A = this chain, B = another copy of it.
Amino acid sequence: MKLNTKSRYAVMALADMAVFSSDNAVSLRDISLRQGISLLYLEQIFLRLKKNNIVKSVRGINGGYILVKSPKELKISDILLALDQKVKTIGCKKDSKKSCNGKSTKCITHDFWDELDIHINSFFENKKLSDLLKNREARI
């Protein structure tokens, strides 16, 4: 059970922005260099972040990206959502009448997986980007 790199890099890049913001836009090139993430890959990621209104862009020289919300207000769950990183740990369909393993009833473990999803999602809901920046000595 692992998070994909897109989500991981997204959180990483946004944390980087929060640290190095200083009012003006942060370029992907800088993030790429500091965090060791491929520039091309970052572009793809930020496209999604922009579409989902996590960041806004400034074009041209000295352009880059700016956080729409402050790190204190930006929930990690918002970031993951922007990248379609659903925390849906298993295949049972939540709502459909004919769910789970093709049978018409809920599978024996159905409620358990639901509980798990809630448990994980609430973690992401309650974490703000600013929380990642606390007690960070080795900031790169």
Contact = CB atoms under 8 A, between A and B. Distances in A.
A55 interface: no
A89 B12 contact: no
Interface in A72-107: 85-91, 101-103, 105-107
A101 to B, nearest CB: 4
Contact of A35 (B7, B87, B101, B106): B101
Contact of A119 (B37, B90, B109, B123): B123
A105 to B, nearest CB: 4
Q: Lowest 6 A-B CB distances belong to which pairs?
A: A36-B101, A105-B138, A3-B89, A112-B132, A15-B108, A12-B109
Interface of A: 1-5, 7-8, 11-12, 15-16, 19, 35-37, 85-91, 101-103, 105-109, 111-113, 116, 119-120, 123, 127, 131-132, 135-136, 138-140
24 contacts: A1-B2, A1-B4, A1-B86, A1-B120, A2-B91, A3-B89, A8-B91, A8-B113, A11-B109, A12-B107, A15-B109, A35-B101, A35-B107, A35-B108, A37-B101, A103-B140, A107-B140, A109-B132, A111-B132, A111-B136, A112-B127, A112-B132, A119-B119, A120-B120
